[in-house]
């Protein structure tokens, strides 16, 4: 099946710093989603992004499907950004997600 790899696995930032999280996938995909899992385990949708670039406040994401990667940018990080960021890709039918291993982010005040 498709493989999804995320880097870096762990990231520690000082509040206010910027960061880029990367997601590589092994095969062509129809769609991709970024999630933030908060300390209570809730998976929060960030972006549903098959290709191109989307922005939402301090977060933006870019997917280059032809090159099989996606990037999540976090600018001016805040302590509330801490948690685990997952990239997940959809199968062709759109009914199954394969998740990467996540990037564990800690933002220090």
Partner 1 sequence: DTGVSQDPRHKITKRGQNVTFRCDPISEHNRLYWYRQTLGQGPEFLTYFQNEAQLEKSRLLSDRFSAERPKGSFSTLEIQRTEQGDSAMYLCASSWAPGGYTFGSGTRLTVV
Closest to partner 1 by CB, 14 or 45: 45
What span, in angstroms and rounded, lies between the C-alpha atoms of 22 and 7? 5
Q: Based on CB atoms, which residue is closest to partner 1, 59 or 97? A: 97
Could you tell me how many residues make up the chain?
109
User: Which positions touch partner 1 (CB under 8 A)?
Assistant: 4, 30-31, 33, 35, 40-43, 45, 48, 86, 88, 90, 93-102
User: At closest approach, how far in Å is the CB of 58 from partner 1?
Assistant: 22
Specify the residue, 57 or 93, whose C-beta has the smaller distance to partner 1: 93
Q: Is 79 helix (H, G, I), strand (E, B) or coil?
A: helix
- Give the C-alpha separation, 46 to 4, whole Å: 18
Cα distance between residue 54 and residue 86, in whole Å: 17
Q: Is 65 helix (H, G, I), strand (E, B) or coil?
A: helix
Q: Toward partner 1, which CB reaches closer, 83 or 100?
A: 100
Taking the complex as a whole, how short is the minimal distance between the CB of residue 96 and partner 1, in angstroms? 5
Alpha-carbon distance of 70 to 86, in angstroms, equals 11
Closest distance to partner 1 from the beta carbon of 53 (Å): 18
What minimum distance in Å lies between the beta carbon of 68 and partner 1? Answer: 18
């Amino acid at each position: 099946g498709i493989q999804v790899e995320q880097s870096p696995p762990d990231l520690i930032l000082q509040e206010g710093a910027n960061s880029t999280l990367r997601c590589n996938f092994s095969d062509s995909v129809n769609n991709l989603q970024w999630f933030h899992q908060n300390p209570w385990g809730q998976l929060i949708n960030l972006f549903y992004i098959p290709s191109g670039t989307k922005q939402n406040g301090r977060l933006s994401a870019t997917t280059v499907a032809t090159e099989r990667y996606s990037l999540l940018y976090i600018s001016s990080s805040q302590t509330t950004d801490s948690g685990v960021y997952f990239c997940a890709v959809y199968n062709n039918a759109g009914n199954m997600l394969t998740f990467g291993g996540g990037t564990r982010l800690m933002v220090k005040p």
